[in-house]
Each structure stands twice: as structure tokens, then as C-alpha cells.
Structure 1
Amino acid sequence: MSDLFTTIVRSPVARKVGVPQPTRLRRFEPGMPLCEGPVLVAGDGRFADGIAAWLGGAGVPAVSTPPGEGDKVGAVVLDLSAATDPAELDQLRLLGAPAVKALKRNGRVVVVGTDPTTLTDVAAVTTQRALEGAVRSIGKELRGGATANLVLAQGDAHDGVRSAVEFLLSGRSAYVDGQVIRVDDSTSGDVDALRPLEGKVAVVTGAARGIGAEIARVLSRDGATVVAVDLPAAGDSLAAVANDVRGTALQLDVTADDAGGRIVEHATARHGGLDIVVHNAGITRDKLFVNMDDDRWRSVMEVNLRSVLRMNEAILGEGGLADGGRIVCVASIAGIAGNRGQTNYGASKAGVIGLVTALSRQVADRGITVNAVAPGFIETEMTARIPFATREIGRRMNSLQQGGHPKDVAETIAWFAQPGAAAVTGQVVRVCGQSLLGA
């Protein structure tokens, strides 16, 4: 999408007079390095040694001491998972501050802690909970496309921590900032870095255009066979997406009673099974709450929320989603922070977050994970229709001072879908550049 503000400030005249330039974010492309090393790995927690060894095996130099004068680092990973007293939070400042000053453009700060919900000692809980406020604040101070995120481990979660750190260091997380990712001690085994979804069958609803089409492309790039689902009215666009990703198209209305059954039937008959389901289909019908009519309210609830509940009954039934499968929902920052004129949409997306929390517990014994992304301001045809002033404010009201791309949402979904993300479930990750709205 065209961004008038960015176009103006990047013009030759603006550059000549010294207007600050929005940073071009480093987004993932196959074959690119994990990050622009070296990476400082420091702290006395239980994961630091494993992270340093893994980085070395991935060809990324890891150093254990803060950079000297004039030196630069591509990222800093601080393992404070062993901290049990607030006095130990000084490590964050003493180790992290020099490295943050030396971050390269599009650098990364990742802090690893212990999930406070797994602790009982008051001082330990206090210390670990403090990391969240610190990391979110660091994220709001960073410049040059750099991000800061927090990984909280439950138990001896080496696989989960490694997968989350890999995602957060890479270009896949370009628009993920100020987020907290909790990982449990589930194991995942080795994952193909270039084709982590090889052999998997993925269904994407609302795939004919926009974010849905990009989700289909990224999943296909990562090795999945994709079933692209959308309304019959979008048949031509849907067929184009399916052909582009060398998958198949399924025309249906997700609100139909048999939508879930038809998805399962198509995936198993055409591709032999079903491993990943992305509930992306959604609509908006905006109106101030006092003027909201029945049709606007019901249609949004039906498409965005009730259809997901109904489809999941069939998807999780016999012959549906395989054990160890993945369900990923698309929520919204509107479901977290609310939005003027969107009580129906905000309610539906908050409901999706509740669905993720509850369903993830119910299917955990099958090794199925359930997660959601909550996009912020993403450059799409829909946001392009927002009035100019509102649109420009929306783009700038985040720590990265720009709108995200559909690919940013798709990359987070693709990570949730990976076998390596087996330790992540019941999570909602905002893809919003750390929007100033919400938490």
C-alpha cells in the first residue's frame, strides 16, 4: 500500500534537508542470515549456554562480554531466568545497556526469564514479573527498526526457548515488538530451517486477498500444501492464490453449518490429511455503539467468532486435525484495546482470544497447539480506505513508527505452525510494532 508520509520524507528534497527517514525493516527472505551478528549472549540463567552453542552451530557468532568502544552487535540475548531477587535486575542494566547502545540497525533485544505463574516465592515472582515492564519500556526507546521482546520459560523449556529466540532474532519478527511469549517444556526435535512445514497440509480461510493470501504464500514457501478457502464470490481471486501457491481452492461460506466438515473432507480427500488450520476470515461493519443495528452486530459475530466455534467442532472431530496439529486464529488489537465504532468487531476479536485460551487447554493432551496473532495497523486495501489523517496517525502510533505488512502477520502465523513451536500454546502475539494502544 502507498504510504504518502513515507513517500514524502524519503523524497530527494526531504533527504537533502535532513528529514529523519523511517527505517526499512529487515524482513525475512529464504537464505538470509538469522540476524546481523555478532550476538551478545549473557546472564547466568539456565538457557544462556545452550543458546550460545546453538547460535554458533547456526553460523552466528556469539560473544559473552559487552561490546567495546566502537564495536557493534546485531542482537543481545539476556538470560535472567535464574533471578529471584529484585537486586539481580541490575544485570539487565549492566549487561544490556552497553549492548543496546551498540545495536546495529534492525537489531534485536531478547530477554529470557522464568514464567512468574510457575513460581511461589514472592520475591522471585516480583523479580520475574518486573522483566515485562522493563522489556516493553526498552522497546519504546529503541530506534533504527530495533525491537525488544521477552520469552518466559515454564520449567526446563530448552526447545521452546530456542524456537522463540530464533523467531525473535530473525526477520520473521520484524513487526513484533514489546511482546511476551510463554513457552512450556514440550519438545520438538530438529526442524528444517528453510522448509519447516514440509509435508504439512494447511487450511487458510479468507485466503482470496490481503492478509489471507499472504498467509497462504508464506505457509507454502515454508513447505506446506495449502487449501485456500473463501467465498464463491471471490472465486477468481481465490483460484489465483491457490495456483500461485500450488495448492487447491475451496469455495465456501465459513458461516455455513457444514463448513468445517467440508474443509476436513476436502483436505483429507485431496491431500491425505489436515495439520494446520488458520482461521483468518473476518469482516468489519463499523458503527457507533448507540447506532449499531442488528445486521451489523450479528454478521460480524457470525463470521468472526461463531463460525470458528462451529468449524472447530468438525476440525477437531474424528478424521479431522491430526494429533500434534496447529490452530492459529487472527484476532486484532481491537479485541485488546477496543476501537471507536467497532464494538461488534472488538467483541468478536476479544472472543477469539478467549477461545484460544480455553481451547488450548482442552486439546493439549493431543499435542495440538492453539494460538492467535493480533495485528495492529497493517497496510491493506481496507486500511487504505481509512481517512487520510486517521490513517497517518494509525501508522505512526507504534514504536517502529510505521505500518506493518501482511507478510508480518503471516510470518508469525507460520512460526506458530512450525513443529519447533510445540512449546507455545494459548498465546496471543501482537503484530503491531508495539502499538501505543493496548497492552
Structure 2
Amino acid sequence: MWDLAAGILACILVAAATESTPEAAARAANPAAPASAVVGQALAPWSEGYLDIHHINTGRGNAAFFIFPDGTSMIFDAGALEDDWGRNVAPLVLGLALPNPSRRPGEWIADYIDQFKRPGMAGIDYALISHFHADHYGRVQFTSPASAHGNWKLAGITDVAERWPLGTLIDRDYPAYDFPVAQRGTKDKSLSNYFRFADGLATSGRSKVERFAVGRDDQIVLKYDPERYPTFSVRNIAANGAVWTGSGSASRNVLDVGQIADGKGKFNENPLSLMIRLDYGDFDYVTGGDTTGVHTPDQPEWFDMESKIAPVVGEVDALSLNHHGNRDATNADWLRALQPRIIVQQTWTSDHPGGDVVARITSKTLWPGQRDIFATHIQEPTKIAIGPWLTRNYRSMDGHVVIRVQPGGGAYDVYILDDRSTDRKVKAHFGPYQSRQ
């Protein structure tokens, strides 16, 4: 009997040792992955050589914090909405203020960064604002306090900068802010506040402020030890209707002012969003704000930016869904070209995601590969409206989503952190995954 049991156990061990999935290969290749997957405990700190991508959930807008392999830091958006905004869009339901409403969303983003910063970090090296919608940079209210550093109020990115000095602020149109129309005279109090902030940083010398340069891979770079990580880069893919050609740093324009702006100066901001791709060894990740992609009879051809961008992005291991997974983005061309293994959806209202987007990101017809889908928060009305196609296909629907790429970029893990607590302990671990070669 013991011999039989031993034989069965040996067969099991042999089968496990010869498992051929990409995840098994990653486990075999990286047996010394950091002990950061213990559910109920804190995520292990970032360490040299790792790439951390934190999708932060405040329930009130997009925010992602990056630590590059040499310790260079970056934030991509820092949105902030409040309850009064939610009343304006009823019956849509705005997300809960997380982890609690005792602080403004931007303050919670700053607090999150304080917990997961690299040792000795005194500021954020790069801050990117994908486009000028308040869920990506911060909505000012009557009650918003004044900055101690200049003539602007605190909401979203300005709250973050109050705690964390910014090395370089990058947006789609500094300093002119005139594409596709002049905006410096805007009546939008939140946007004019952001312009005062950007101008104030530049004139005070506290930070550099730059216009995003489409096509370049030398605007956002490793600042501390670039020679040690030659396979890491950040490529500026698209913004303002311009797209990298895929060769050198050249770009081409795919829309013009006459297309996007009407005669009254109104236009759709989302197609102008800036997009970046991170590469680290074999690992690739792309994020693009609210980039649009649907080309339907009710939309003009130029609205479909994703189909024009997809060929130069190519296959990636991971991405953040454009426009929160809203119905006007994440089209079939985009998914066929990128074929992501990991999909992250940054959400904050009950129309995220659109049901047709769920159909596309789960379709094995568009691409046959495996995919794991993670959302920062899916609301109950959304689950009811879309049904099992949503709930059966998402691996996680609540929590901060962290992608931790192992040294060299050959493998990576996904961690879900508790967004209801300031301790932000690990709720779940997925992986390791093998990066696509």
C-alpha cells in the first residue's frame, strides 16, 4: 500500500515538474520571487531591479504610480471627483470614496505613494496628465484649500504635488494650451486651476514642465542607474492626434483642428489623450488615458484613434483599458493587435465597463490567448446589468491592482490590495506570469 501511495505521489510530482504552462515556466525560472504574496499581510517593499505598477483606487478617478527598476518614480494621472459631481450624472452611481471620506482623493493618492515609495524617495520624478478631464487631474470645489506654494487650489494632482515635489510635469499641450482651440481663457475652474499650477511650477523653478513629445523614448528615462537596465524604456506613443510611426522618434498627424473642433470651440478631449508604452526586457505595458476607438455610424472616422495606434504598439503583456472600459474604446483592432495577457480596468462609476467592451475583452475570436482581467472596482448595478459574462470572467473586481515585474522583465505577478483599509494588505495574488518574448 505504501509503495502504491509513493508511486502515485511520484507521478504527481513528475507531472507538476513537467507542467508546460507559461505560468509554470515563470515559477521555474524565478524560484526566488519576493515573498510578497501572503494574503493578509503587507506587500513587500519595492527593491532594486523590480518594476512596480500600482493602479490606485480612490473610487474617484484614475491614478497609477510606477517605480522603475533603478528607483525612478512616475505617476500617470491623479484624478479627483467628489459627491457633488455624482449628483450631476444621476442615475449613474459614483464610486465610494476610498478608503474613507476623511481625506480628499489626491491626499489618499499621496498617502498610498508614501506607503509604497522606494527607500529615500523625496519626490516624484515624473508626473503625466493624460488629458484635461478632472477624473484624471482633479476637480476643484468651493471647499478646496489653497496651496502653500502658489496661486492654485488642492485637488488631484495638486494635492499629490503638495506632499510630493514633482521633478517634471508633462501634459499634452504645455505651454500654449491652444490645441485644438485656445483654452487658457476657459471658464472651467478646475482646468484654469491646473493651468495656474503648471505655470507656477515652471516659473518658480520647483519643477520642469514639458509638452509630451510623441515618438520619443528619451523624455521619460531612468534617472539613477540607466546603464544597469539597458532593456528598460518608455516610448511616447500618441497624443493630440499625433501617433508614433514606429521608426526612430518620428510621428504623424492623424487628425486636425478642422475635424475635431466644431465652429463654437467645442471638442471631445478624449481622443487627444497621451499614451505611453513601457518595455522592460520581454515585458511590455501600455496605458493611454481615455483614448477612443469605436468607429460606428454615429461617430466620425477620426474618433477611432485605437485602430491608428495599435499597429505601432504591437503585442503587450499588460495594459490599462482605455477610457475605463467605457463603451467607446477598446475596439476589435486594438485587441487583435495587442493581445494582452493582463487587463487592468480603472473604474469609478456604474457605466464602467460597457457590456460590449466586456464581450470584446473576453472574446476568443478576437485573440485566442489566455487573459486575466482585474478591475479596481465594479459596482453592483454594473454586475446586474451585464451579468455572468462580467462576473465569471474577471479575476478580481475590487482593490488596488499592482503589477510587479521581476528583475530583467522575464516574469511578473499581480497583487490585489485592500482598498478599504489604510493598511492596504494583500487580498489576492496571481502568477507569476511569463513575459511574452
TM-score, structure 2 as length reference: 0.36
* Higher RCO structure, 1 or 2 (CA under 8 Å, sep 6+): 2
| TM-score (norm. length: structure 1) | 0.36
Greater share of residues in helix: 1
